[in-house]
Amino acid sequence: MDRAQKEKVVEELGQIFESSGVVVVAHYAGLTVAEMQDLRARAREVGGSVRVAKNRLTKIALQGKPCESMADMLTGMTVLTYSEDPVAAAKVAEDYAKTNQKFEILGGTMGENVLDRAGVETVSKMPSRDELIASIVGCIGAPAANIAGAIGAPASNIASILSTIEEKAEAA
């Protein structure tokens, strides 16, 4: 890799750290190509990505960033799992780590906050952006459904009363 390619990689990595809601760092020694493709596919499903880069270049990309202190995690064979959604990549990494012993989460970063292993696990348990939106929409929609039910209820009650009166009149 020549100097221009290295500079491009450093720039891309810097962009990842600036634009991602969460970045998870993990060791991946021993993963097969198929297992790595599975991880990439899982990340892609939630709008995330997986990136393998030289630790030295990643450390250069971290210089001057608020999460620069995570450079200590970059030892050995590391892989970055990241997403714009502040929870999605952490969920993917946690789920994958549960099914594959070779994938060991070291920590990560969420904005300016550097996360340890427990921090990544905690973030992974939070609701994702889509789940939060669905919850908010449900809360907004519930009162409207209650109002519609309340408005419709008197009409059904009147219909029921008229039906009862009609049945009594026919019986008499």
Residue whose C-alpha is closest to residue 45's, from 21, 14, 81: 81
Q: What is the CA radius of gyration of the chain?
A: 27
Residue whose C-alpha is closest to residue 102's, from 28, 3, 14, 25: 28
Task: Give 20-36 pLDDT, tens digit per residue.
Answer: 888 999 999 889 999 99
Is the pLDDT assigned to residue 151 strictly greater than 70?
Answer: no
Task: Give 54-97 pLDDT, tens digit per residue.
Answer: 999 999 998 888 888 888 899 999 999 999 888 889 999 999 99
Helix ranges (H only) for the chain are 3-19, 33-45, 55-62, 88-99, 117-124, 129-171
For residue 145, name the pLDDT band (cuts at 50, 70, 90): low
Mean pLDDT of 30-55: 92
pLDDT for position 103? 92
pLDDT for position 134? 78
| Token reading at 46 | 């939630």
Q: CA–CA separation, 10 vs 23, rounded Å?
A: 16
Phi then psi dihedrals of residue 87, to 5 deg: -125, -30
Phi then psi dihedrals of residue 56, to 5 deg: -60, -45
pLDDT for position 163? 77
Q: CA–CA separation, 44 vs 33, rounded Å?
A: 16
Residue whose C-alpha is closest to residue 50's, from 74, 83, 73: 83
Mean pLDDT of 136-155: 65
For residue 155, name the pLDDT band (cuts at 50, 70, 90): low
For residue 150, name the pLDDT band (cuts at 50, 70, 90): low
pLDDT for position 56? 92
pLDDT for position 131? 75
On average, the pLDDT of the chain sits at 85
pLDDT for position 64? 85
pLDDT for position 152? 60
CB 47 within 8 A of CB 84: yes
